[in-house]
């Protein structure tokens, strides 16, 4: 019985997608959702130019459209599909293959990046099922993304060296200069990436155990873990965050910082939030600053997390901030705490169940609640300087946004972080 038989009892066979059998040493499958893209070849060439690992690799492009997609999008998808097939025929090798599938008329309720990513990742898992390879690696990528040349070799080496790893987030850096976009786009992506890195570093500072980047174009997960956790969701936005949080909470999750994925900073109206939507909103509102979470909200969380064990013996902890007390009340914490304690014979299990409750989703809910009722958001460069000043450097006063971002990138790349529930 294969590792994924139970998972694929729910789904149709993927044999009709690709007739080629996977190589016996297939170990990495990269999945690229693709919708209304005019320059997919740039992404494919970036992957083609990567150093080849010892194992076989497959790249699966899932060109997709919904039942209500416009004729223009459907036509563009056809052009992209034909270009991808031509690319595959020209450049595929025995141990490094490109596949393109064109999935049309997806139900409007689900059509979007989540379903496209799910179709590709399910297919990748199916390829590994065929050769009974539970430890096969599925990587997320995007159709407007490029990468450093050591992408595949570093992923292969990482999972060889970390045999117990379930998955990892891969270091990413948006382009901050060049000729592909105007200066306004570059200045805004610098601010937005500062926000992403500030958010994770603030969570790490307060010892939140699930503080990892969750970017759809820069992660890798073992096929068996993917299927055991129910696969990718069909969300039209935020699918990467929701999927990876399930994986992160399992433990044995890591950062892979020895290669770099380079996502696009372009604007987008395809999803309501995320990088493209954030840049678009900043442009439309003529925003020169990006407002992020007030550092005090993280300090409030820190007080809760430091005192969490007091809840093991009591239902009340003194001196918690009003923001925390109001949030816990609003979210029926006292009722849920009773259930947590009933199922926690010792403090170790209690702490695990506490963080099962106060997970990353709950953190986001708290931060939004706190900024609606207690705090004002602050400019991201101010927030990052405060984080640096307290945690990393002694004096940072006049650094530009770009210098701050470069410092934060280097800090992230040089940090060996491992999730630990304490």
Q: What is the mean pLDDT of the chain?
A: 91
- Nearest residue to 223 via CA among 154, 122, 155: 122
Token pair listed for 369: 């609640």
Q: Average pLDDT, stretch 55-71?
A: 95
CATH number for region 23-291: 3.90.550.10
Quick check: 288 pLDDT over 60? yes
pLDDT band, very low/low/confident/very high, at 416 (cuts 50, 70, 90):
confident
* Among 76-80, 98-102, 225-229, 310-314, the least confident range: 310-314
Residue 263 region by backbone torsions, left for phi larger than 0, else alpha for psi between -120 and 50, else beta: beta
Quick check: 181 pLDDT over 90? no
Quick check: 271 pLDDT over 70? no
pLDDT band, very low/low/confident/very high, at 221 (cuts 50, 70, 90):
very high
Question: What pLDDT, on the 0 to 100 scale, is given for residue 282?
Answer: 72
pLDDT band, very low/low/confident/very high, at 394 (cuts 50, 70, 90):
very low
Q: Average pLDDT, stretch 141-159?
A: 97
- Nearest residue to 46 via CA among 147, 150, 138: 147
Higher pLDDT, residue 415 or 136: 136
| Alpha-carbon span 107 to 253, nearest angstrom | 33
Quick check: 170 pLDDT over 80? yes
Q: Average pLDDT, stretch 255-282?
A: 79
Contact 140, 219 (CB under 8 A): yes
Q: Give the domain ranges of the chain.
A: 23-291, 294-376
Higher pLDDT, residue 177 or 415: 177
pTM, whole model, 2 decimals? 0.94
Quick check: 276 pLDDT over 70? no
């Amino acid at each position: 019985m294969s590792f994924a038989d139970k998972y694929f009892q729910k789904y149709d066979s993927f044999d009709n997608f690709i007739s080629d059998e996977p190589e016996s040493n297939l170990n990495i499958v990269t999945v690229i959702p693709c919708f209304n893209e005019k320059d997919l070849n740039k992404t494919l060439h970036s992957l083609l130019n990567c150093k080849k690992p010892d194992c076989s690799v497959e790249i699966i492009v899932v060109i997709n459209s919904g039942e209500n997609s416009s004729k223009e999008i459907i036509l563009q998808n056809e052009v992209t599909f034909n270009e991808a097939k031509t690319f595959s025929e020209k450049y595929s090798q025995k141990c490094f293959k490109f596949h393109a599938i064109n999935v049309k008329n997806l139900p409007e309720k689900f059509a979007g990046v989540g379903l496209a990513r799910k179709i590709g990742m399910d297919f990748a898992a199916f390829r590994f099922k065929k050769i009974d390879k539970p430890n096969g690696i599925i990587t997320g990528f995007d159709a407007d993304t490029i990468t450093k040349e050591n992408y595949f070799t570093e992923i292969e080496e990482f999972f060889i060296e970390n045999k117990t790893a379930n998955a990892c987030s891969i270091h990413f850096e948006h382009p901050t200069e060049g000729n592909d976009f105007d200066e306004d786009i570059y200045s805004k992506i610098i601010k937005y990436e500062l926000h992403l890195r500030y958010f994770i570093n603030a969570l790490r500072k307060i010892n939140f155990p699930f503080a990892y980047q969750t970017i759809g174009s820069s992660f890798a997960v073992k096929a068996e873990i993917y299927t055991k956790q129910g696969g990718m969701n069909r969300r039209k936005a935020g699918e990467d965050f929701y999927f990876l949080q399930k994986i992160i909470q399992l433990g044995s999750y890591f950062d892979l910082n020895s290669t770099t994925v380079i996502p696009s900073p372009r604007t987008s109206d395809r999803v309501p939030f995320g990088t493209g939507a954030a840049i678009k909103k900043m442009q439309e509102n003529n925003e020169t600053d990006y407002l992020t979470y007030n550092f005090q909200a993280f300090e409030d969380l820190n007080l809760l997390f430091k005192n969490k064990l007091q809840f093991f013996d009591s239902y009340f902890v003194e001196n918690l901030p009003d923001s925390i007390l109001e949030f816990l009340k609003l979210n029926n914490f006292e009722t849920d705490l009773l259930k947590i304690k009933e199922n926690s014979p010792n403090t170790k299990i209690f702490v695990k169940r506490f963080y099962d409750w106060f997970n990353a989703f709950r953190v986001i809910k708290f931060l939004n609640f706190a900024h609606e009722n207690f705090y004002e958001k602050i400019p991201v460069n101010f927030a990052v300087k405060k984080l640096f000043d307290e945690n990393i450097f002694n004096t940072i006063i006049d650094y530009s946004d770009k210098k701050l971002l470069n410092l934060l990138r280097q800090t992230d790349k040089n940090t060996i972080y491992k999730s630990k529930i304490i």
